[in-house]
Amino acid sequence: MKSLDVRRKILADNEAAAGRLRERFRDAATLVVNLISSPGSGKTSLLEASVPRLQSELKVGVMVGDVATDRDAQRLSKLDIPSLQLITGGSCHLDARLVDIHLEVEPRLQDLDVLFIENVGNLICPTSYDLGEDYKVALLSVTEGSDKPLKYPGIFSRSTATVLSKIDLLEYTNFDLEIVRQEIRMLNPNCRIFETSAKTGQGIESWCEWLQSCLAQKRTPS
Amino acid sequence: MKSLDVRRKILADNEAAAGRLRERFRDAATLVVNLISSPGSGKTSLLEASVPRLQSELKVGVMVGDVATDRDAQRLSKLDIPSLQLITGGSCHLDARLVDIHLEVEPRLQDLDVLFIENVGNLICPTSYDLGEDYKVALLSVTEGSDKPLKYPGIFSRSTATVLSKIDLLEYTNFDLEIVRQEIRMLNPNCRIFETSAKTGQGIESWCEWLQSCLAQKRTPS
């Protein structure tokens, strides 16, 4: 079997597992958000800022993927929600089978209103692996530069929303909000864009309201 | 052939191509530095700050890898050195064969004192692909957080030097220089660590002096 065939088979196997996950999440009426960004864009910080706003009304849980260490899960364990660290052992992305295996053994994650899957810090590879999520959400911190959407079109064209993070550092950078908005919209005209700071709380309420509206939409009989 | 076998074969093919590149670079007495970091850590900015200090005495060139766009090469074209954009078309890393093919058709990159290879923005996958370089150099911007070395041990254990970038933003973050130094040294006791800012110029001279000493060492008859 050639390299390209193997890659196709890996992706086909992932699609099958993602299909099963999607059914499971539909049956549980759980909104699932797959958070994807570069290392250090602030995925865990976004969750630390968002969960306290959501957990009074909703049952929230987190799966967090990393190549090594359980540092993110340790941070998330301080929130009063179920969280689980998935160590990929070198793999650069989460895949649907890994998520499925861990869900099976973690009943606390099986009956949620919202499940966040914090992917491995990588703006490229996780994009290709469907995890049965409702939405992919990209994070881009303003310190990374405003040239990123067209340089990494895969994730920005497939994300339902983009969270611009660390907006409190905007004035110390040459990040151009208008250009970034234009480029994201060029790739993905309907993408929701949130300007946030986990530090000051800016934009976190809008982001949480959007999540709640997504959950309500998922639970509306069609 | 199973997925693991295919991966082994891909890496073995890459090693063979990297071996040929290493011979070529040895014959040309060119110092080759493979720059690896997350998207937006400042690889291109580091080159923009370094090249003007090096090019009065040395012939410097750059190959730059990206998933899409030639934005980095456009920035680098303003420096008066040969530069070449390699578009990977979705692949998350540069490989030795791609570098070799492009070197063949670009004589201006064949007779250099220093060749920088700016890898695709990705802290994980490029680590596994030898490009025939003398040294891997990791970049980590202070805005990414000081938890990164142990979270991404592959690159920080294999890099001869780590460039801490955007040090001018240190006071606005909770980045802990001492912890990062300790973690890098834990993975890699001899790693050189440079604290730099492409914006203010801090640390750029030490970094350039180190490159010059590496070149001199490469050219010292053994």
pLDDT score at A204: 98
Q: For residue A110, is it left (φ>0), alpha (ψ between -120 and 50) or beta?
A: alpha
Q: Which of B6, B10, B39 faces A38 most closely, judged by CB atoms?
A: B39
Give the integer Cα–Cα distance in Å for A13 and A34: 19
Q: Is B197 on the interface with A (CB under 8 A)?
A: no
- Contacts across the A-B interface (CB distance below 8 Å): 116
pLDDT in tens, B103-154: 999 999 999 999 999 999 999 999 999 999 999 999 999 999 999 999 999 9
Kindly state whether B157 is in contact with chain A, defined as any CB-CB distance less than 8 angstroms.
no
Residue in chain B lying closest to A127 (CA): B90
| pLDDT confidence of residue A19 | 97
Contacts with A, B 28-67, CB within 8 Å? 38-40, 66-67
The pLDDT score that the predictor gives to residue B37 is 98
Confidence of residue B155 (pLDDT cuts 50, 70, 90): very high
B4 min Cα distance to partner chain A (Å): 10
ipTM: 0.94
Q: Which residues, listed in sequence order, are joined to residue A161 by a DSSP beta bridge?
A: A137, A192
* Mean per-residue pLDDT, B74-99: 95
pLDDT band at A33 (very low <50, low <70, confident <90, very high): very high
Tens digit of each residue's pLDDT (9 = 90 or more) over A87-137: 998 899 999 999 999 999 999 999 999 999 999 999 999 999 999 999 999
pLDDT for res A4: 78
Chain B hits for A11, Cβ within 8 Å: none
Q: Which residue has the tokens 């340089």?
A: A151
How is B155-197 classified by DSSP, letter by letter? HHHH-SEEEEE-GGGGGGS---HHHHHHHHHHH-TT-EEEE--
Task: Give the DSSP H or E segment for B96.
Answer: helix B96-104
What pTM value is reported for the model? 0.96
Instruction: Supply B28's token pair.
Output: 């040309």
Chain B residue closest in CA terms to A175: B40
Q: Which residue has the tokens 């196709």?
A: A8
- Taking residues A191-220, what's their average pLDDT? 98
